[in-house]
């Protein structure tokens, strides 16, 4: 997947005066999912992303492919069933990226075992043939064997259940590559800056600007899909400045610790925090991730920052469950994501945590098709629904959805090449062999930092094949260095900038600017 080739595709399509079937605005889970669906059906599709693929919410999730135990409690059975089915399909289609994870709900009161035990049996039942493993009650000793760091004082036992885990921005990039493999043209660093309309006032394309070169593109399409998450309303306003906003935003933070805080391979699930939510502490890429929160915010931003009270809340809540409660100085990184939530009908009341996580398809009177809400887990189903609507709206050929059994880029049932030797390579799936080939050069086999497993060959791979353009692209989304250890990532900026400059043809001035820009960004990912 090479950026210059993608940009050239936009130019060529314009020169032939042929509209694309669909142009998608936004390169997060929702947008790339739509691009995969449309391309796999045989439709022509272009996608423009303002920043990098996955820069928004889609790189900042809790990393769970799940039905949502919490929605079960809210009685939203259809949402849970649909998400459990999607969980199963995603593991089937991207086994290199999605794996089963055991979760333990520890019980400190007598009523918790029957209460959560029954709830989680229902969760198993709703998964049907897409089940990941049967939940069961655990004795106190069995609970501590799974979670050795758990506070034993007052512990009665626990319940174990199974869900899925993934690497969100890696799946995002592999979906972009899947779409590209099926003929889609996807361009990062290319914001949509205006919508085009036909003589009757219906949206029939957009203008976009290449943020790296300044070149402007006119992209005509039969349907324009707005998949911009928390920025949904700003794109809707490009078509009609007077539209009633449909989105509200809430943010969630995660704290990342050394793996020793969660000894063992099992995740901890706290089913009811003091604010009535759930909190997870999960093993991820050899670290422990704790989160999340649900705090309403006024305006969306691409780089949200954690609030002091959110940091305190996660530390305090997680700390209650461990013999060695983590403190601020143990936080290796903090990351913050914004939920794109669709407003409730009754305005202005209730908490954002009570708003539906179902997805919404909305068509404005201008003909702009918006898809928003939902969850990472359900991106495929959302895309299917969206493209079905786009086919009707744009009078496109009525082609069937082809993604239920579509293998996602990198598909590999077992780790291959370096992936078999070092766990962190497994997420590359079948691409690992090509990275291993690059790593035959001793200079590229070098680790970039002693605290993280990433090697120089991954930077070169990301620049050549995954459209990485900046140090941030490499350290935040192609690898997960920034999300795992922001201090280590800061120290990796210079070698990564030099490797990228060599690949992309940049000079010393660019290298200096990239290092400064990335090191400034790391400030938002550390707790003071
Ligand atoms: C804290 C938190 C934890 C979560 N955990 C989970 C989880 O564990 N499991 C799960 O299934 N779901 C989870 N979710 C939900 C999931 O992450 C989101 O539903 C999903 O990532 C939303 O993807 P999106 O593509 O709609 O939005 P985004 O990822 O935000 O993508 C929108 C994109 O649009 C781009 N854009 C904006 N304006 C323009 C423009 N003018 N031109 C071009 N591009 C533009 C942005 O740059 C952005 O990249 C979580 C969400 C949060 C906030």
Among the residue ranges 203-207, 221-225, 260-264, 295-299, the one predicted with the least confidence is: 260-264
How far apart are the C-alpha atoms of 412 and 402, rounded to whole Å? 19
| CB-count burial class (<10 Å; 0-12, 13-18, 19+) for 12 | exposed
**Is 55 in contact with 67 (CB distance < 8 Å)?**
no
| Percent of the chain residues topping a pLDDT of 90 | 87
Predicted pLDDT of residue 352: 54
Q: Which of 169, 176, 212, 231 to mutate to test the pocket of ligand 1 (most atoms within 8 A of CB)?
A: 231
Predicted pLDDT of residue 345: 62
Predicted pLDDT of residue 348: 38
| Residue ID of nearest Cα to ligand 1 atom 9 | 64
- Tell whether ligand 1 has an atom less than 6 A from the beta carbon of residue 295: no
φ, ψ of residue 207 to 5 degrees: the values are: -110, 145
Atom of ligand 1 nearest to the CA of 291: 1
| CB-count burial class (<10 Å; 0-12, 13-18, 19+) for 33 | buried
Predicted pLDDT of residue 347: 40
- Tell whether ligand 1 has an atom less than 6 A from the beta carbon of residue 326: no
Predicted pLDDT of residue 420: 67
For 38-83, what is each residue's pLDDT tens digit? 999 999 999 999 999 999 999 999 999 998 887 887 788 888 999 9
Quick one: which H or E segment has residue 335? strand 333-342
- Tell whether ligand 1 has an atom less than 6 A from the beta carbon of residue 232: no
For 134-174, what is each residue's pLDDT tens digit? 999 999 999 999 999 999 999 999 999 999 999 999 999 99
| Distance (Å) from CA 390 to ligand 1 centroid | 21
Q: Which of 208, 228, 293 to mutate to test the pocket of ligand 1 (most atoms within 8 A of CB)?
A: 228
| Distance (Å) from CA 263 to ligand 1 centroid | 30
- Tell whether ligand 1 has an atom less than 6 A from the beta carbon of residue 415: no
Residues 333-338, mean pLDDT to the nearest whole number: 98
How far apart are the C-alpha atoms of 296 and 293, rounded to whole Å? 10
How far apart are the C-alpha atoms of 264 and 352, rounded to whole Å? 33
Residues 124-140, mean pLDDT to the nearest whole number: 93
**Is 443 in contact with 449 (CB distance < 8 Å)?**
no
Q: Which of 277, 301, 375 to mutate to test the pocket of ligand 1 (most atoms within 8 A of CB)?
A: 375
| Closest CA relative to residue 25, chosen from 183, 242, 235, 249 | 235
- Tell whether ligand 1 has an atom less than 6 A from the beta carbon of residue 376: yes
Asked whether the predicted pLDDT for residue 502 surpasses 80, the reply is yes
How far apart are the C-alpha atoms of 276 and 70, rounded to whole Å? 10
φ, ψ of residue 154 to 5 degrees: the values are: 80, -5
Peptide bond into 474 cis (omega under 30): no
Helices 486-504 and 508-521: crossing angle, nearest 10°? Answer: 160
Predicted pLDDT of residue 69: 82
Residues 245-272, mean pLDDT to the nearest whole number: 93
Asked whether the predicted pLDDT for residue 87 surpasses 80, the reply is yes
Predicted pLDDT of residue 353: 55
| Distance (Å) from CA 393 to ligand 1 centroid | 25
Among the residue ranges 238-252, 264-278, 459-473, the one predicted with the least confidence is: 264-278
Residues 418-447, mean pLDDT to the nearest whole number: 91
Residues 75-99, mean pLDDT to the nearest whole number: 94
From the CB of residue 308, how many other CB atoms can be counted at a distance below 10 Å?
A: 9
**Is 193 in contact with 150 (CB distance < 8 Å)?**
no
Residues 6 or more apart whose CB falls under 8 angstroms from that of 434 comprise: 461, 465
Whole-model pTM?
0.96
Tokens of 239: 């078509």
Is 364 strand, coil or helix?
coil
- Tell whether ligand 1 has an atom less than 6 A from the beta carbon of residue 57: yes
Chain centroid, CA 413 distance in Å: 22
How far apart are the C-alpha atoms of 51 and 451, rounded to whole Å? 28
**Is 195 in contact with 189 (CB distance < 8 Å)?**
no
Asked whether the predicted pLDDT for residue 357 surpasses 80, the reply is no
Chain centroid, CA 411 distance in Å: 18
Tokens of 93: 């289609």
- Tell whether ligand 1 has an atom less than 6 A from the beta carbon of residue 29: yes
Dihedral in degrees, nearest 10, Cα atoms 297, 301, 307, 313 = 70
Tokens of 367: 């003909």
| Closest CA relative to residue 456, chosen from 490, 413, 503 | 503
- Tell whether ligand 1 has an atom less than 6 A from the beta carbon of residue 164: no
Asked whether the predicted pLDDT for residue 307 surpasses 60, the reply is yes
φ, ψ of residue 312 to 5 degrees: the values are: -60, -45
Residues 209-221, mean pLDDT to the nearest whole number: 98
Given pLDDT bands bounded at 50, 70 and 90, which one contains residue 112? Answer: confident
Tokens of 419: 């992936």
Given pLDDT bands bounded at 50, 70 and 90, which one contains residue 289? Answer: very high
| Distance (Å) from CA 348 to ligand 1 centroid | 23
Given pLDDT bands bounded at 50, 70 and 90, which one contains residue 351? Answer: low
Mean pLDDT score of the chain: 94
Predicted pLDDT of residue 403: 98
| Distance (Å) from CA 182 to ligand 1 centroid | 23
**Is 355 in contact with 249 (CB distance < 8 Å)?**
no
**Is 126 in contact with 81 (CB distance < 8 Å)?**
yes
How far apart are the C-alpha atoms of 383 and 52, rounded to whole Å? 20
Q: Taken in order 69, 287, 150, 60, is the CA torsion positive or negative?
A: negative
- Tell whether ligand 1 has an atom less than 6 A from the beta carbon of residue 69: no
């Amino acid at each position: 997947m090479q950026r210059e080739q993608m940009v050239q595709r936009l130019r060529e399509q314009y020169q032939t005066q042929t509209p694309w079937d669909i142009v998608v605005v936004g390169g997060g889970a929702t947008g790339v999912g739509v691009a995969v669906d449309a391309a796999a059906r045989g439709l022509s599709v272009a996608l423009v992303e303002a920043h990098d693929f996955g820069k928004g919410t889609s790189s900042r999730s809790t990393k769970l492919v799940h039905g949502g135990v919490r929605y079960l409690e809210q009685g939203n059975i259809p949402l849970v069933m649909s998400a459990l089915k999607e969980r199963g399909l995603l593991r089937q289609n991207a086994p290199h990226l999605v794996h089963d994870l055991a979760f333990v709900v520890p019980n400190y009161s007598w009523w918790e075992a029957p209460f959560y035990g029954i709830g989680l049996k229902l969760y198993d039942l709703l998964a049907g043939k897409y089940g990941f493993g049967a939940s069961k009650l655990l004795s106190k000793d069995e609970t501590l064997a799974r979670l050795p760091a758990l506070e034993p004082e007052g512990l009665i036992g626990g319940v174990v259940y199974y869900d899925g885990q993934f690497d969100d921005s890696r799946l995002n990039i592999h979906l972009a590559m899947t779409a590209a493999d099926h003929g889609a043209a996807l361009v990062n660093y290319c914001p949509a800056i205006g919508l085009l309309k036909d003589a009757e006032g219906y949206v029939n394309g957009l203008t976009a600007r290449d943020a790296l070169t300044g070149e402007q593109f006119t992209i005509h399409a039969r349907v324009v899909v707005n998949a911009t998450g928390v920025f949904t309303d700003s794109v809707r306003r490009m078509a009609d400045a007077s539209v009633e906003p449909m989105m509200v935003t809430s943010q969630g933070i995660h704290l990342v610790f050394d793996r020793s805080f969660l000894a063992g391979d099992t995740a901890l699930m706290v089913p009811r925090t003091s604010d009535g939510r759930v909190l997870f502490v999960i093993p991820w890429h050899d670290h422990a991730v704790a989160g999340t929160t649900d705090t309403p915010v006024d305006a969306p931003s691409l780089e949200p920052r954690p609030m002091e009270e959110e940091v305190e809340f996660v530390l305090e809540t997680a700390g209650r469950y461990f013999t060695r409660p983590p403190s601020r100085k143990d936080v290796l990184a903090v990351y913050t994501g914004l939920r794109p939530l669709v407003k409730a009908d009754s305005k202005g009341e209730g908490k954002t945590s009570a708003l539906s996580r179902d997805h919404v398809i909305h068509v404005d009177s201008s003909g702009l098709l918006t898809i928003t809400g939902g969850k990472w887990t359900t991106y495929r189903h959302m895309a299917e629904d969206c493209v079905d609507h786009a086919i009707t709206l744009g009078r496109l050929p009525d082609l069937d959805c082809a993604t239920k059994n579509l293998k996602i880029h990198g598909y590999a049932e077992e780790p291959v090449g370096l992936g078999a030797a070092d766990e962190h390579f497994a997420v590359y799936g079948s691409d690992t062999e090509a990275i291993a080939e690059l790593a035959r050069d001793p200079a590229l086999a070098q680790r970039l930092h002693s605290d993280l497993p990433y090697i120089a060959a991954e930077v070169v791979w990301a620049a050549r094949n995954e459209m990485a353009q900046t140090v941030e692209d490499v350290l935040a989304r192609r690898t997960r260095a920034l999300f795992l250890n922001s201090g280590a990532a800061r120290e990796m900026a210079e070698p990564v900038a030099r490797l990228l400059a060599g690949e992309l043809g940049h000079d010393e001035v660019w290298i200096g600017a990239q290092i400064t820009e990335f090191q400034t960004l790391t400030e938002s990912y550390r707790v003071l």
